[in-house]
Amino acid sequence: MTVVTRFAPSPTGFLHIGGARTALFNWLFAKHHGGIFHLRIEDTDRARSTEAAIAAILDGLQWLGLDWDGEVVYQFARAPRHAEVVSQLLAAGKAYPCYCSVEELEEMRKAAMVAGKPMKYDGRWRDRDPKDAPAGVKPVIRLKAPQSGETVVADGVQGEVRVGNEQLDDMVLLRSDGNPTYMLSVVVDDHDMGITHVIRGDDHLTNTFRQRQIYDAMGWEAPHFSHIPLIHGPDGAKLSKRHGALGVEAYRDMGYLPEALRNYLLRLGWAHGDDEVISTQQAIDWFDLGGIGRSPSRFDFAKLDNLNGQYMRQSDDADLAAKVAQRLGKEQDPAALALLTRAMSGLKTRAKNLKELAENAAFYVQPRPLALTDKAKAQLDSVEAQVLLPKLVAAYRDETQWQAAKLEERARAFAEAEGLKLGAVAQPLRAALTGSTQSPPIFEVLEIVGRDESLARLADALTPAI
Partner RNA sequence: GUCCCCAUCGUCUAGUGGCCUAGGACACCAGCCUCUCACGUUGGUAACACGGGUUCAAAUCCCGUUGGGGACGCCA
Whether 68 and 54 have beta carbons less than 8 Å apart is answered as no
Whether 148 contacts 102, CB under 8 Å: no
Q: Which is nearer to RNA, 280 or 306 (CB)?
A: 306
Q: In whole angstroms, what is the distance from residue 217 CA to residue 173 CA?
A: 12
CB 167 within 8 A of CB 145: no
- The tally of CA atoms less than 13 A away on the side-chain side of residue 36 is 14
What gap in Å lies between CA 341 and CA 316, rounded to an integer? 9
Backbone torsions φ then ψ of 347, nearest 5 degrees: -85, -40
> CA 426, 432, 433 angle in degrees (round to 5)?
85
**CB neighbour list of residue 277: distance below 8 Å, 6 or more residues apart:** 263, 307, 310
Choose the catalytic residue: 138, 238, 241, 375: 241
CB of 305 to RNA, least distance (A): 7
Query: Closer CB to RNA, residue 165 or residue 326?
Result: 165
| Least Å from the CB of residue 72 to RNA | 14
Shortest distance in whole angstroms from residue 159 CB to RNA: 6
Which of residues 88 and 167 has its CB atom nearest to RNA in the complex?
Answer: 167
Which residues are within 8 A (CB) of 123 and not within 5 positions of it... i.e. 6 or more apart? Answer: 147, 169, 170
- Output the smallest distance, CB 44 to RNA, in A: 4
The least CB distance from residue 67 to RNA, in Å, is 22
Q: Which is nearer to RNA, 73 or 217 (CB)?
A: 73
Q: Which is nearer to RNA, 39 or 205 (CB)?
A: 205
What sign has the CA pseudo-torsion 236, 242, 247, 249? negative
Closest CA to 251 of 55, 68, 72, 59: 59
User: Beta partners for 39?
Assistant: 7
Q: Is 377 a catalytic residue?
A: no
Count of alpha carbons within 13 angstroms of residue 425, beta-carbon side: 24
Residue pair 461/389 in contact by the 8 Å Cβ criterion: yes
Cβ 218 to RNA shortest distance, Å = 18
* Shortest separation between residue 406's beta carbon and RNA, angstroms: 13
Strand partners, 42: none
Which residues are bridge partners to 164 per DSSP? 150
Q: How far apart are CB 361 and RNA at their closest, in Å?
A: 13
Helix runs in 244-333, H state only: 248-253, 258-267, 280-286, 301-314, 317-327
| Gap between the Cα atoms of 330 and 336, Å rounded | 7
Taking the least distance from each CB to RNA, the nearer of 126 and 331 is: 126
Distance CA 147, CA 150 (A): 9
Identify which of residues 173 and 325 has a Cβ nearer to RNA in the complex: 173
The answer to whether residues 134 and 99 touch, using CB atoms and an 8 Å cutoff, is yes
**HSE (side-chain half, CA atoms, 13 Å) at 212:** 20
Residue 75 DSSP symbol: G
Task: Name the residues annotated as catalytic.
Answer: 241
